[in-house]
Homo-oligomer: A and B are copies of this chain.
Amino acid sequence: MLKKERQAYILHQVNLHNKVLSSSLSQEISVSEDTIRRDLQELADEGKIIKVHGGALSHSFSQVYYPSNNVYSLDNKKIIAQKAASLIEDGMFVLTTGGTTIIELARALPPQLKATFISGSIPVVLEYMHHPSIDVILIGDKVSKNSKITVGAEAIAQIKRIRADLCFLGINAIDIKNGITDNDWDVVTLKKAMIESAQKVVCLTIAEKINSLQPIHIDDISKIHTLITELSPDDPLLKPYKDAGIEVL
């Protein structure tokens, strides 16, 4: 069998089944695994397939891009994400909501981190999947089209079964008197459940949302352990929260 012929066969198999194993290909074509691996390498160099440990994957399958343009206050969110990422340690279970801030957090995770992330937000989970070593648990239920998260009793029940070490909430409004508030009933219910299921609650928000108010109450600030903004912890805007016993980063 000619080399080109063989490579064509391999490419065909990859496109057909989305995945091939070096070992089975080597048996099918009756050549050594070394040869198969060299073929896969060449095809990968040409961009026709994606080579992975043990075989290869079709390119069309893992080809989803997530442009990060158009995100409001992106740079500030990157700062927040950095601070938040530093709280996560190997082996932790981390609950997260959705939102662009949390997506930035997902991108800021150090590559060697080994932890388990739980979320009901589809864009966030997509971002987690790019990470090489973390485990991802997706909360299932009815999908809310505008917020792109799963909501409902089943989602709540799944969250309640979890005892997470950390909970990162991307929040929409916070003030000393009313605590954290939001404008979507389903989202509020979910966030409440997450707060209950985590040992430590970390709120992420850009400074703009500090001391603002939304219609629906989620929880008092007494439930919050840590507050992260893009500001320095010494910023006077944050002093009241410090005084209320919240760790400010």
Contacts and interface: CB of A to CB of B under 8 A. Distances in A.
Interface of A: 2-5, 8-9, 11-12, 15-19, 21, 24, 48, 50, 52-55, 57-67, 70-73, 99-100, 120, 122-123, 125-126, 128-129, 135-143, 145-146, 148, 150, 154-155, 158, 172-173, 183-184, 208-209, 212, 214-215
8 contacts: A2-B55, A4-B62, A8-B61, A11-B65, A122-B138, A135-B142, A138-B142, A140-B158
Contact of A125 (B17, B73, B143): B143
Most chain B beta carbons < 10 A, residue from A4, A50, A145, A158: A4
A129 B65 CA distance: 17
A24 B2 CA distance: 13
A140 B143 contact: no
Contacts of A129: 122, 143, 145, 148
Interface of A: prevailing SS? mixed
A102 B21 CA distance: 24
Copy number in the complex reads 2
Contacts of A123: 64
A92 B215 CA distance: 36
Nearest to A132: B145
A228 to B, nearest CB: 17
Contact of A2 (B53, B66, B70, B150): B53
A162 B16 CA distance: 31
B72 A16 contact: yes
Contacts of A61: 5, 8, 100, 148
A173 B3 CA distance: 26
A190 B50 CA distance: 25
Contact of A136 (B2, B5, B143): B143
B66 A70 contact: no
A214 B208 CA distance: 56
A8 B19 CA distance: 13
Given A19-B146, A137-B142, A145-B136, A2 B65 contact: no
Given A16-B72, A137-B141, 18 more contacts: A2-B19, A2-B54, A3-B54, A8-B61, A11-B66, A15-B73, A48-B66, A52-B146, A59-B70, A60-B71, A60-B100, A61-B100, A62-B146, A122-B122, A129-B145, A135-B143, A140-B140, A140-B155
